[in-house]
Amino acid sequence: MTRLFAILTCAATLATAQSDISDRLSRAIRGESTGAPHALPAGFSIAAKSGDVGQAIAGPVSGVNSRAAFQAMLRQVSPYFDHAPGLQAAFADPKNMQIQALFKASYQGTPVRGLMIVTAQNGSGTGAILFDRENLFAKSVGALSKQMAAAAPKGTPAPAGPAQLTRTPLPDGSGFIGLPPGWRVLDSYKGALDVAGPDQQSMSLGIAHQVFRQGRPGGALIVGPYRPPWPAWQLFVDFANRGALSRGEMSMRLLEQSPEQSPAGQAEWLAYEASIRGAKRKGLAYVITKPFNDDIGTWFLYTSFIGAPAERWAQDLPTMWAIWKSWSINPSVFRERMDAALRSMRETTQIIQDMNRSRSHAFDNANYGWDECIRGVTMIEDIESHERAEVDTNHVDWWLEQFNRRGYNVRKVPLADLVP
């Protein structure tokens, strides 16, 4: 074992312990919970449980409509968590009788994801909150909803939850996804897939695009200068609908956006409404954009989205969200897919611009840099021995400090030197 990797192995244990201590200290400084239970909101009771964290709580809510009831419930239940839940997206039905919202929070020191549902009419109604650990919520939300419905008194309408999912292999064997009855995978390739529901619901996950700054619009390639997620999503929708947005035959409206940290580029969650030929649809998209440092101005666009007719959106969202979270890709297939994409990009660029050798080397470096961004790692190097290793990008400065403090001469490898 080389000295660089030996130190990385030892330091990893120290980093983990330091991270745990820092997390507990940070929570204490912020006044967050370190494990003490919180009292249930007045009138609420636990209707279902899953594991040591997951649960569904339900109770009466009041308000002139679902929006007012939701705001009141949010204030009421916030003290149940370590801090006020952060809403990711919220949607209301056209008659303002029900609101559903996805959220992130911390419960007794554990990061959780969840779903809030409020149904109100004539000043009164019911509210429910289902949540679990971030990595378990997609699997447990269906069971929690089912338990909650079974526990409700007869004649009491339980808030709608996602349908039960059946683990389904993708047609090309690259992964799995959970599907309820009536849903089907239209196509899949290397983990990316298109899914259709029985009532005009649609879903497309894991699609990576290379966008060219110049070219002929309306062709087989997406063309346009680099842009952040929302304008990039509009560009993609226009491309997918053969220019309907540009011609004014289609309109789109941003309802809500939520930035998210990603080592792969600028990432945002986008809730939107689209109208084409009199039909309105709502959707939720996760979009990442990243400029590619080459000579022709190409950039990357990653998209995953779910959509449904506007009148069905509120009732379909929990099921579509559960399907999305159940999607999994075989890691080796993902690695192969990314390698193939990078090879394809090099070939395409050489055909378009006949790059000389030095430009090709620069493009290889940029490809390698993009690959590191996707995986969230950064290359470091011992300047004396030229040994290299990859470390978590979020902690690269810490690694450099630890090595150099011990007398080694270690640097972060510049983009131009990634490929020898």
The answer as to whether 352 is a domain residue is yes
> Where among 284, 311, 339 does a domain terminate?
339
Number of C-beta neighbours around residue 111 at 10 A: 13
> Where among 320, 339, 358 does a domain terminate?
339
pLDDT at 153 over 80: no
The SS3 assignment for 307 reads strand
Lowest mean pLDDT among 165-179, 190-204, 282-296: 282-296
Q: Mark whether 215 and 305 lie in a shared domain.
A: yes
The answer as to whether 29 is a domain residue is no
pLDDT level of residue 31 (50, 70, 90 thresholds): very low
Which pLDDT value is given to residue 212?
Answer: 84
Gap between the Cα atoms of 307 and 165, Å rounded: 18
pTM attached to this predicted model: 0.48
Which pLDDT value is given to residue 172?
Answer: 83
Number of structural domains the chain divides into: 3
Q: Mark whether 246 and 335 lie in a shared domain.
A: yes
Summarised one tens digit per residue, pLDDT across range 118-147 is 887 666 678 889 999 988 887 888 788 878
Q: Mark whether 208 and 60 lie in a shared domain.
A: no
Mean pLDDT, to the nearest integer, of 295-324? 84
**Listed residue (331, 263, 272, 244) closest to 302, CA to CA:** 263
Gap between the Cα atoms of 179 and 168, Å rounded: 7
Residue with tokens 């690694």: 399
pLDDT level of residue 54 (50, 70, 90 thresholds): very high
Q: Mark whether 395 and 408 lie in a shared domain.
A: yes
Could you list the residue range(s) of the whole structural domain that residue 250 is in? 166-339
The answer as to whether 25 is a domain residue is no
* Higher pLDDT pick, 77 / 383: 77
First to last CA, the chain: 23
* Higher pLDDT pick, 70 / 360: 70
147: part of which helix (H) or strand (E)? Answer: helix 137-151
Q: Mark whether 177 and 290 lie in a shared domain.
A: yes
pLDDT level of residue 6 (50, 70, 90 thresholds): very low
* Higher pLDDT pick, 403 / 111: 111
Asked if residue 89 lies in contact with residue 269, where contact means CB atoms within 8 angstroms, the answer is yes
Q: Mark whether 295 and 353 lie in a shared domain.
A: no
The answer as to whether 28 is a domain residue is no
Q: Indicate the length of the chain as a whole number.
A: 420
The answer as to whether 306 is a domain residue is yes
Q: Mark whether 309 and 356 lie in a shared domain.
A: no
Share of the chain above pLDDT 70, in %: 70
Number of C-beta neighbours around residue 372 at 10 A: 19
pLDDT at 29 over 90: no
Where residue 108 sits, what CATH number does that domain have? 3.40.1000.10
The SS3 assignment for 343 reads helix
- Return mean pLDDT, the chain: 75
Q: Would you put residue 134 in left (φ > 0), alpha (ψ -120 to 50) or beta?
A: alpha
DSSP 8-state symbol, 136: T
The answer as to whether 367 is a domain residue is yes
Q: Mark whether 208 and 311 lie in a shared domain.
A: yes
Summarised one tens digit per residue, pLDDT across range 72-98 is 888 889 999 998 898 877 776 666 678
> Where among 151, 175, 202 does a domain terminate?
151
The answer as to whether 348 is a domain residue is yes
Q: Mark whether 134 and 242 lie in a shared domain.
A: no
Where residue 279 sits, what CATH number does that domain have? 3.40.1000
Which pLDDT value is given to residue 273?
Answer: 92
Mean pLDDT, to the nearest integer, of 263-278? 86
Mean pLDDT, to the nearest integer, of 401-405? 84
* Higher pLDDT pick, 272 / 387: 272
Q: Mark whether 215 and 353 lie in a shared domain.
A: no
Q: Mark whether 260 and 344 lie in a shared domain.
A: no
Q: Mark whether 133 and 187 lie in a shared domain.
A: no
CA angle 174, 176, 180 (to 5 degrees): 145
* Higher pLDDT pick, 118 / 366: 118
The answer as to whether 262 is a domain residue is yes
